[in-house]
């Protein structure tokens, strides 16, 4: 999916438990994306039942029993989500955190704080890369 040429905005699911981060990400990303937000394991699954997303922005720490990496592992087993880009945006910045995220099925791992243009470019690139495969 080439986001620049698309007639419709790609659908992004922001999985983030911090309310202020949710609002900032929604305001920032809605210029180029059709944004949905969830803050827990339950709202993650509820959103996936309602619509098909083109990209997932995943935080590691979430409300509920499962974290973002566990949700990513489960997402990769779901029909239609094996190749959907998952970009992890997390305050967990250690090398092992990155390795665990990639092992779970995350495509790109970014640490907070991240510059706005880096986040936007990463999401657009992830979408464009997946559309080539």
Task: Quick: pLDDT tens for 31-66.
Answer: 999 999 999 999 999 999 999 999 999 999 888 889
Tokens of 4: 């620049």
Instruction: Give the count of domains, the chain.
Output: 1
pLDDT at 123: 97
Pair 68, 39: CB distance under 8 Å: no
The answer, as to whether pTM is greater than 0.85, is yes
Rounded percentage of the chain residues whose pLDDT exceeds 90: 83
Residue 6 covered by a domain: no
Give me the domain span that covers residue 48.
11-132
In our burial notation (b when 16+ CB lie closer than 10 A, e otherwise), range 7-28 reads eeebbbbbbbbeeebbeebbee
Distance of alpha carbon 105 from alpha carbon 60, whole angstroms: 13
Q: Residue 9's pLDDT band (boundaries 50, 70, 90)?
A: very high
Residue 123, domain CATH: 3.40.50.2300
From the number of C-beta atoms within 10 Å of its C-beta (0-12, 13-18, 19+), residue 97 rates as middle
């Amino acid at each position: 999916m080439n986001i620049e040429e698309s007639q419709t905005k790609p659908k992004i699911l922001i999985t983030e438990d911090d309310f202020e981060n949710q609002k900032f990400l929604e305001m920032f990303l809605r210029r180029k994306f059709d944004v949905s937000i969830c803050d827990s394991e339950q709202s993650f699954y509820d959103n996936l039942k309602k619509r098909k997303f083109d990209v997932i922005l995943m935080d590691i720490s979430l409300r509920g029993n499962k974290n973002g990496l566990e949700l990513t592992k489960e997402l990769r087993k779901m029909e239609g989500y094996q190749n959907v880009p998952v970009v992890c945006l997390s305050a967990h910045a250690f090398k092992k955190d990155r390795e665990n995220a990639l092992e779970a099925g995350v495509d790109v791992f970014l640490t907070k704080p991240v510059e706005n243009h880096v986040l936007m470019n990463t999401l657009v690139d992830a979408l464009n890369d997946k559309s080539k495969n």
